[in-house]
């Protein structure tokens, strides 16, 4: 009986994925509702960071939407196919998340050094160094996006195009990034 129920679920999931491949939004919604908990657990397990896992999960479902037509039931079960997409994307992001220091601008200078500061005292130098260290904790792409938004004046849409990310991911970065910086700096 259990084998029959499991086979029925897999068939139903394969049919839903086929409908997604044809652009069926309702099928996509059903697919998300049935699989998001498991895929999120896998992504969070790889990344060990809930906020980043949520962002990666958005990208995973976007990839599922775009690539649903390439799914082949002869090669893998539907859940196996989606888990592979989720796990591979999470691993890619984990590899990119190595803590780094703030990279210099394209002209070789450091944008942080060019920030106007009327005081050139020890306190401002320490504050700048603290900010530099806290920025180094952020993911490289997220850090570059935040700097481009706040120092370069780029819009969310421009940033989405520049970094090839959904606008909602950019919004999330621009909200969570400064919060992470405040927490790192010990500011309220």
Domain locations in the chain as residue ranges? 2-96, 122-185
Q: Compute CA distances 138 → 7, 11, 88, 163, whole Å.
A: 43, 42, 21, 15
What pTM, to 2 d.p., does this model score?
A: 0.52
**CATH class of the domain defined by 122-185:** mainly alpha
For 82-106, give the DSSP string.
HHHHHHHHHHHHHHHT---PPPPPT
We find that the CATH architecture of domain 2-96 is Orthogonal Bundle (1.10)
Structure tokens at 147: 């700097």
Instruction: With both helix axes pointing from N to C terminus, report the angle between 78-96 and 2-21 in degrees, rounded to the nearest 10.
Output: 70
Per-residue pLDDT of the chain (188 residues; tens, 9 = 90+): 456 556 678 889 999 999 999 999 999 999 999 999 999 999 998 888 888 899 999 999 999 999 999 998 888 899 999 999 999 998 888 877 644 434 555 555 555 555 545 545 555 566 677 777 788 778 888 888 888 887 777 788 888 888 888 989 999 988 888 888 888 877 65
Specify the pLDDT at position 116. 47
Handedness of CA 37, 39, 160, 135 (dihedral sign): positive
Specify the pLDDT at position 187. 63
Specify the pLDDT at position 54. 93
Instruction: With both helix axes pointing from N to C terminus, report the angle between 122-137 and 140-150 in degrees, rounded to the nearest 10.
Output: 130
Specify the pLDDT at position 100. 43
Q: Compute CA distances 66 → 42, 44, 119, whole Å.
A: 21, 22, 52
Specify the pLDDT at position 14. 92
Query: Tokens 């952020």 identify what position?
Result: 138
């Amino acid at each position: 009986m259990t084998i029959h129920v499991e086979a029925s679920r897999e068939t139903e999931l394969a049919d839903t994925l086929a409908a997604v491949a044809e652009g069926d939004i309702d099928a996509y919604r059903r697919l998300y509702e049935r699989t998001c908990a498991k895929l999120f657990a896998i992504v969070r397990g790889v990344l060990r960071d809930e906020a980043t896992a949520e962002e990666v999960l958005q990208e995973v479902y976007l990839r599922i939407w775009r690539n649903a037509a390439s799914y082949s039931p002869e090669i893998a079960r539907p859940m196996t196919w989606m888990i592979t997409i989720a796990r591979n994307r999470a691993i890619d992001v984990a590899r990119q998340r190595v803590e780094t220091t703030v990279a210099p601008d394209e002209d070789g200078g450091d944008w942080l050094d060019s920030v106007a500061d009327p005081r050139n005292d020890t306190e401002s130098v320490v504050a700048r160094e603290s900010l530099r260290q806290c920025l180094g904790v952020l993911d490289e792409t997220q850090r570059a996006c935040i700097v481009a938004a706040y120092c370069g004046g780029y819009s969310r849409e421009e940033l989405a195009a520049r970094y090839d990310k959904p606008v909602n991911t950019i919004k999330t970065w621009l909200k969570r990034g400064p919060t992470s910086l405040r927490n790192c700096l010990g500011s309220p």
